[in-house]
Structure 1
Amino acid sequence: MSHRDTARVLLEQHGTTYAEDAGITVDDKPAALWQLLVLSLLLSARISSSIAVAAARELFDAGCTTPERTRDTTWQQRVDALGRGGYRRYDERTSTQLGELADKVLDDFSGDLRRMHEACDDVPALEQALQQSKGIGPAGAAIFLREVQGVWPDVAPYVDDLAAKGADRLGLPTAPEKLADLVPAQDLPRLVAACVRAARDQDVVDDVTGSDA
């Protein structure tokens, strides 16, 4: 298959972003950006993505849809929500981190991550700004930027090492600009998410390439 054909099949079979899985409609609005940051924190732990997504849904159902509402929840309410999502191994520590994250976003950006975006001149500055929050390390920052690039065009094309690894396993180009050229701009977050799945799961590679290796 050509690179474009591979990308098309990849999108058809595995092109759902992690935000979509968690019920988040990513747009350039404070609540959506906060929810994406929460999901990024959860996904960056050593735990399956399905559990992280389920935990995010439980947190949002419990009221953690904005930093203000998150700060209004109790530590125990957040622990309970994480537990319902299966996030038990990290529930107490993560509940604390979520409270601290809400405080920081409220104190530094008045609850609006667009202010963080406006204050950063480039992607490395955004990566560093995201990592100023407890619980958001390099992996969490990369997750956030992979998914937000559809609504923050200046971030695109954002292809971190994990996504590039998946692209390589699929025989696709790993250079961000070349990978981005394979799909319309609005589909790039989906393509990058699918490449991440390929990096983590050989079955994804086999589905797309038809390989039994």
Structure 2
Amino acid sequence: MTQQDVVNVLMDRAGTSYVAEAGINLADKPAPLFQLLMLTELLSTRISADIAVAAAKELVSTGYRTPQRVADADWQELVDALGRAHYKRYDESTASRLGDIASRILDRYGGDLRKLADEAERDPARAAQLLQQFQGIGPTGSDIFLREVQDIWTWARPHFDERALRGAERVQLPADPDRLADLAPENHTADLAAALVRVTLNNEVADQVLAATKIIPA
């Protein structure tokens, strides 16, 4: 069984990016990039990825698709939307952060995160720093954003963060971003990165891949 075979099995079982799972049609446009940043904020909180994705899907499907719409929203409206997705415990603080993020994007970037890429001069390390200016987005959050956006912002590719690399080791793939990118289907590097993250979050996914590829866990 080759490493490519392992990747093919992994992609078949878990190869959907979190942004796609949230129903966001990611493109290099202001609205979907903002929606990805909302998802990033939701995933950055100490809550399950499934609930964070469901919350992002609820926000987007009920009309909170642009920074202007979120900035204009009543705080309680955002709390209620998060509650409908069972995003509890952190719903009030997260609603506040989402409003702050939307306002900052409007003030600094005119509502368009492509200007952040311009300011970063398409340097991933600088982009990570700029992403961390947003309330609630730290190093983990900037990794999530760059991991998910890398097939749109190809200058950020390959981006396999620490969690994705741990997932690669779990299924005996190389813990090296360049080698993993070579194994990814064309324009699906982000999907492979997400699949590797799921390996670290869900033992069942890891076990299925190991069993299907007849790999004996180290």
TM-score (norm 2): 0.95
- Give per-residue Cα distances to partners, 1:120-172, cap 9 Å, x unaligned: 13111011000000011111111110010001110000011000000010100
Determine the structure 2 residue equivalent to 1:65: 65
Question: What residue ranges of structure 1 are gaps of 5+ in the alignment?
Answer: none
Q: Does structure 2 conserve the Cα–Cα contact (< 8 Å) formed by 1:63 and 1:73?
A: no
Inter-partner Cα distance in structure 2 for 1:205 and 1:60:
30
Inter-partner Cα distance in structure 2 for 1:100 and 1:73:
11
Inter-partner Cα distance in structure 2 for 1:175 and 1:212:
21
DSSP 3-state at the match of 1:39: helix
Inter-partner Cα distance in structure 1 for 2:74 and 2:178:
44
Determine the structure 2 residue equivalent to 1:111: 111
Determine the structure 2 residue equivalent to 1:120: 120
Q: Does structure 2 conserve the Cα–Cα contact (< 8 Å) formed by 1:106 and 1:112?
A: yes
1:61 Cα offset (Å):
2.8
Inter-partner Cα distance in structure 2 for 1:152 and 1:136:
19
Determine the structure 2 residue equivalent to 1:178: 179
Q: Does structure 2 conserve the Cα–Cα contact (< 8 Å) formed by 1:39 and 1:53?
A: yes
Question: What residue ranges of structure 2 are gaps of 5+ in the alignment?
Answer: none
**Residue correspondence of structure 1 range 158-197 to structure 2 within 5 A:** 158-197=159-198
Inter-partner Cα distance in structure 2 for 1:184 and 1:84:
36
Q: Does structure 2 conserve the Cα–Cα contact (< 8 Å) formed by 1:159 and 1:192?
A: yes
- Runs of 4+ in structure 1 displaced over 2 angstroms? none
1:152 aligns with 2:153: yes
Q: Does structure 2 conserve the Cα–Cα contact (< 8 Å) formed by 1:41 and 1:140?
A: yes
Inter-partner Cα distance in structure 1 for 2:125 and 2:40:
17
Inter-partner Cα distance in structure 2 for 1:92 and 1:99:
11
DSSP 3-state at the match of 1:179: helix
RMSD: 1.2
Inter-partner Cα distance in structure 1 for 2:164 and 2:202:
12
Determine the structure 2 residue equivalent to 1:15: 15
Determine the structure 1 residue equivalent to 2:102: 102
Q: Does structure 2 conserve the Cα–Cα contact (< 8 Å) formed by 1:22 and 1:54?
A: yes
Inter-partner Cα distance in structure 1 for 2:27 and 2:139:
22
Number of equivalences: 213
1:185 Cα offset (Å):
3.3
1:212 Cα offset (Å):
8.6
Q: Does structure 2 conserve the Cα–Cα contact (< 8 Å) formed by 1:150 and 1:185?
A: no
Inter-partner Cα distance in structure 2 for 1:169 and 1:104:
39
Inter-partner Cα distance in structure 2 for 1:15 and 1:68:
32
Q: What is the letter of the counterpart of residue 153 of structure 2?
A: W
**Residue correspondence of structure 1 range 33-112 to structure 2 within 5 A:** 33-112=33-112
